[in-house]
């Protein structure tokens, strides 16, 4: 099989939709001789911030001298981004080899979904590379997510808001129960959950499993120090910490990461303060408040659900209130798009509605109609690359272009920007 053939075969699995459960992935991993048992795992669930937390943790562990695998989703431009070794995407050849091994599995309970297939690939690749640590992000929920076959040494739950209600439930407490399903007996839990109804669920689940629980704002906390921040933790106080990732919310994400480092240190995992500082400063996580130095400048942020849209809207208002802002936006149909648009359009002078190349995207004319409920200066460009090029042409050089609404839109925008740079 060639690389493109592998991707085509994997993406055809999307037709089987989302099927939550552990029997099929368990059988797949058993056929691969249970690769997930050959390294230590850290498991991350939550609504927002999972990828940022995974990126920071991976970078700190790598800086401390460990070989680290990282599994996240979705990718922005290339599938390989989902499976990283020491924060570098695996090669096309490695994708092909792992795809072949997983494709060769027979006698499964049912046809695997795309996410089950790629999860098996990731865990298999980590074993092939003999990683010492695997930092693994859930896809959806937690309890029945394909990644929940691992036996982690540490679990993190970033935050919880209403999402994927068809699969996870209609209330924060029910969704919290699904996310808290990654909690394992005796395994420490680090939580950034703040709503009482959701927090109570996490606390009950941890107590039921006799899992030590460490909560942001209680057992550990942070405080701003100008552009830096201080962390007051379980055993350490670290001051004047700096993040490469933009956004006030990244300090909350970093707090969970630092608490995780402290728990690992308690288990005699060699991580010193210099590795923590360097790891935070060197972490890169594309497509999340990522600034591109064009003229006008481009800000790329997935902002694919209501919580992240509110954070982005706040960031634009606080940091770019005097700029002329063009919003390039595309959203998937399973999202509360009107509420998302209300937050995203508020700080912007004009909006270009667009549509990523995925069948779940809201048709561009339907999106345009919704945008006009909140903005008067609205244009349509059906192709994301064309929308970005048009935004560059009509936005003042000292203004700002914000691309948001979906990581798929951000990925296509990044590819378009690279193509423009090659042409110039």
pLDDT for res 301: 96
Nearest to 163 by CA among 148, 181, 175: 175
278 shares its domain with 298 = no
pTM of this structure: 0.93
Asked if residues 297 and 392 have their Cβ atoms less than 8 Å apart, the reply is: no
Least Cα distance to 353 among 334, 336, 375 occurs for 375
Question: What pLDDT, in 10s, does the model give residues 337-356?
Answer: 999 999 999 999 999 999 99
Are 131 and 263 in the same domain?
yes
| Whole-angstrom distance, CA of residue 293 vs CA of residue 28 | 44
Contact predicate 221/229, CB 8 Å: no
Which of 251, 282, 313 is where one domain is finished?
282
**What percent of the chain lies above the pLDDT cut of 70?**
97
Do 19 and 152 fall within a single domain?
A: yes
Q: Is the pLDDT of residue 220 over 80?
A: yes
Q: Does one domain contain both 263 and 341? A: no
The domain boundary residue, chosen from 282, 314, 335: 282
Look at residue 20 in the predicted model and tell me its pLDDT. Answer: 81
Instruction: Collect all residues with Cβ–Cβ distance below 8 Å to 108 and sequence separation of at least 6.
Output: 24, 27, 28
DSSP 332: B
Q: Give which of 349, 309, 311, 315 is closest to 330, Cα–Cα.
A: 309
CA distance 30 to 123: 12
Given a contact cutoff of 8 angstroms between Cβ atoms, the answer to whether 364 and 354 are in contact is: yes
> pLDDT tier at 163 (50, 70, 90 boundaries)?
low
| Tokens standing for residue 417 | 């920007």
- Which of 110-114, 138-142, 146-150 has the lowest average pLDDT? 138-142
Q: Are residues 202 and 308 in the same domain?
A: no
Look at residue 402 in the predicted model and tell me its pLDDT.
98
Same domain, 277 and 300: no
58-111 pLDDT, tens digit each: 999 999 999 999 999 999 999 999 999 999 999 999 999 999 999 999 999 899
Q: How far is CA 267 from CA 76, 144, 188, 263, in A?
A: 35, 28, 11, 7
Can you give the CATH number for the domain in which 64 is found? 3.40.1190.10
Q: What are the DSSP calls for 156-198, one per residue?
A: EE----S--HHHH-SSHHHHHHHHGGG--TT--EEE---SHHH
**Is residue 240 located within the same domain as residue 296?**
no
Cβ proximity of 121 and 104 under 8 Å: no
Beta carbons within 10 angstroms of residue 235's beta carbon:
9
Q: Are 264 and 52 in contact (CB under 8 A)?
A: no
Q: 194 falls in which pLDDT band (50, 70, 90)?
A: very high
**Residue 424 pLDDT > 90, yes or no?**
no
The packing angle between helices 196-208 and 172-179, to 10°, is 30
pLDDT at 275: 97
The alpha helices in 320-363, defined as continuous H runs, are 337-345
What backbone phi and psi angles, to 5 degrees, belong to 387? Answer: -65, -40
pLDDT at 226: 84
Under the banding of pLDDT at 50, 70 and 90, the label for residue 361 is very high
Residues 296 and 178 in one domain: no
- pLDDT at position 335 is 87
Instruction: Tally the domains of the chain.
Output: 2
Rounded CA-CA distance 320/401 in Å is 11
With cut-offs at 50, 70 and 90, classify the pLDDT of residue 421: confident
Question: Does residue 21 come out as left (phi exceeding 0), alpha (psi in the -120 to 50 range) or beta?
Answer: left
- CA–CA dist 29, 178 (Å, integer): 23
Residue 165 has pLDDT above 60, yes or no: no
- CA 70 – CA 83 distance, rounded (Å): 6
Identify the CATH number of the domain in which residue 296 sits.
Answer: 3.90.190.20
Q: Which of 282, 312, 336 is the last residue of a domain?
A: 282
With pLDDT > 90 as the criterion, what percentage of the chain qualifies? 85
Strand 40-45 to 154-157 pairing: parallel
The token pair that represents 283 in the structure block: 């972490």
Phi-psi region of 303 (alpha: psi -120 to 50; beta: other; left: phi over 0): left
268 and 317 belong to one structural domain = no
Core vs surface per residue 313-349: b (16+ CB within 10 A) or e: bbbbeebbeebbbbbbbbbbeebebeebbbbbbebbb
Report how far apart, in Å, the C-alpha atoms of 379 and of each of 231, 353, 371, 419 are.
45, 6, 10, 23
- Do 239 and 347 lie in one domain? The reply is no
Yes or no: say if 349 and 376 are a contact pair by the CB < 8 Å rule: no
142 phi/psi in degrees, rounded to 5: 180, -55
Please provide the size of the chain in residues.
424
Indicate if 315 and 250 belong to the same structural domain.
no
| Helices 249-266 and 50-63: angle between axes, nearest 10 degrees | 50
The mean pLDDT of the chain is 94
Range of the domain at 419: 290-423
Q: Are residues 277 and 325 in the same domain?
A: no
């Amino acid at each position: 099989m060639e690389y493109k053939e592998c991707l085509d075969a994997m993406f055809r699995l999307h037709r089987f939709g989302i099927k939550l459960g552990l029997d099929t992935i368990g059988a797949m991993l058993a056929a691969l001789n249970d690769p997930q048992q050959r390294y230590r795992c850290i498991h991350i669930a939550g609504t927002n911030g999972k990828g940022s937390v995974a990126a920071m943790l991976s970078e700190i562990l790598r800086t401390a001298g460990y070989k680290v695998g990282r599994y996240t989703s979705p990718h922005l431009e290339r599938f390989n981004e989902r499976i990283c070794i020491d924060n570098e995407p695996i090669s096309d050849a490695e994708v092909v080899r792992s795809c072949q091994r997983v494709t060769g599995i027979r006698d499964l309970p049912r046809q695997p979904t795309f996410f089950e297939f790629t999860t098996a690939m990731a865990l298999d690749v980590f074993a092939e590379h003999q990683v010492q640590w695997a930092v693994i992000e859930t896809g959806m929920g937690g309890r029945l997510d394909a990644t929940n076959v691992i036996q982690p040494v540490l679990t993190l739950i970033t935050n919880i808001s209403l999402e994927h209600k068809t699969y996870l439930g209609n209330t924060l407490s029910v969704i919290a129960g699904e996310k808290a399903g990654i909690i394992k007996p005796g395994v420490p839990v680090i939580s950034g959950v703040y709503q009482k109804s959701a927090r109570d669920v996490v606390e009950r689940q941890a107590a039921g499993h006799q899992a030590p629980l460490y909560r942001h704002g209680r057992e550990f906390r942070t405080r701003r120090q100008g552009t830096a921040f201080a962390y007051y933790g379980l055993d350490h106080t670290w001051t004047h910490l700096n993040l490469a990732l933009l956004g006030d919310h990244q300090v909350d994400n970093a707090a969970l990461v630092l608490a995780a480092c402290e728990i690992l240190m308690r288990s005699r995992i060699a991580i010193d303060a210099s590795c923590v500082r360097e790891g935070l400063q060197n972490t890169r996580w594309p497509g999340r408040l990522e600034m591109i130095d064009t003229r006008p400048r481009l800000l790329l942020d997935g902002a694919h659900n209501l919580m992240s849209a509110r954070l982005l809207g706040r960031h634009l208002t606080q940091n770019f209130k005097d700029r002329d802002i063009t919003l390039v936006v595309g959203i998937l149909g399973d999202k509360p798009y009107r509420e998302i648009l209300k937050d995203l359009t508020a700080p912007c002078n004009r909006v270009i509605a667009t549509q990523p190349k995925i069948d779940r995207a809201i048709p561009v004319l339907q999106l345009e109609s919704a945008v006009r409920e909140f903005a008067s200066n609205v244009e349509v460009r059906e192709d994301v690359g064309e929308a970005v090029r048009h935004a560059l042409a009509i936005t003042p050089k000292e203004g700002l272009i914000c691309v948001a609404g979906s990581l798929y839109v951000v990925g296509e925008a990044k590819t378009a920007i690279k193509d423009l740079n090659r042409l110039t």
